[in-house]
Amino acid sequence: MSSKQLIVMMVPLIVWCGIFAYLLFIDRSLRRLERDDREQDQL
Amino acid sequence: MAATQTRPPAPKMPEPPPSRHTPVPPLRGAWWKWGLGALMAYVIYGAFFIAKGAVNFTEDGNTARIVFFHVPCAILSYVAYAVAAVYAILYLTRDRNLQTDAKSATGMELGFLFCILATITGSLFAGVMWGSYWNWDPRETSIIVMLLLYASYLVLRGAVSEQPEKRARLAAVYTLVALIPATFLIWVVPRLPWLQSLHPTTTLVRPANTSLSYKAVLYPSFLAFTLLFVWMFQLRYRLLQLMARKAGRLENE
């Protein structure tokens, strides 16, 4: 495992971790909004 | 003289709210999203440390490693179009339901995104491999026209955003009409025998030319990108539904 390759690999890996965390955040936010929306319907 | 009885008009009932999003049956819950996170991390690791350097490529074969990201994006850009076309057909032939239109629009938006990603990754490969980021190769020309097809769709939807029914009808017809050049550009033009192309073609057409170490990363990469597409499709569609419900509620108030 060369250190150069490791450094280059870290770039897409960190980018992917960022995208993944962002998608999870959007997913949770949407779920919360859907729950609020459902509660508003029931009122 | 017989009196004609006229029934009083029925009170107008408020339209029921659109049903909420129901995920694709095998993909319920969050387990597959965490699985996708791990799978994509494996693909990124494997692209550098499992796959060996490919022959006939510059930089000791390292340039070929982009195949794990470029090819799934390129294929998904067409798959997304096909998904959009299926929903466009369903919209026109079956229900004229705005939710079906929203699914078709979601497919086109994601297709545009993956098309941009395929263009960028392809251009990076061309820059390192052939010394120029753009060569007007048949595939490069095809993908530019595909980008224009997608962009035109989004412009069309934006132009009639005030009339949802009309927008849905026009968008569905456009999707189906543009499916013909899209199919021709992606599947026919690059394979015309008299068009000389710099683009490598043996990765998928002749799997025997692809080593086992490449297959061990490339096939999981297809799965990872497909799951990513499904997840993004769900998120975008759920958002569109919420926006539609909110707009409907504001109208009722």
- Asked if A39 reaches chain B (Cβ–Cβ under 8 Å), the answer is no
Give me the pLDDT at residue B149, please.
Answer: 94
**Could you read off the pLDDT of B216-241 as tens digits, one per residue?**
999 999 999 999 999 999 999 999 98
User: How many C-beta atoms surround the C-beta of residue B29 within 10 A?
Assistant: 8
Give me the pLDDT at residue B10, please.
Answer: 44
Q: pTM for the whole thing?
A: 0.84
Task: Map tokens 């189906």 to a residue.
Answer: B176
- Asked if A33 reaches chain B (Cβ–Cβ under 8 Å), the answer is yes
Report how far residue A20's alpha carbon sits from residue B130's, in angstroms, rounded to the nearest whole number.
Answer: 33
Residue B221, CA atoms < 13 Å, CB-side half-sphere: 24
Closest residue in B to A24 (Cα–Cα): B33
- The answer to which of A29-38, B24-33, B109-118, B188-197 has the lowest mean pLDDT is B24-33
Across chain B, mean pLDDT equals 84
Among residues B15, B6, B24, B3, the alpha carbon closest in space to that of B237 is found at B24
**Could you read off the pLDDT of A18-32 as tens digits, one per residue?**
999 999 999 999 999
Binning pLDDT at 50, 70 and 90, where does residue B196 land?
A: confident
Q: Give how far B189 is from chain A: nearest CA, Å.
A: 32
ipTM summary value: 0.88
Question: Helices B212-252 and B31-49, interaxial angle, to 10°?
Answer: 140
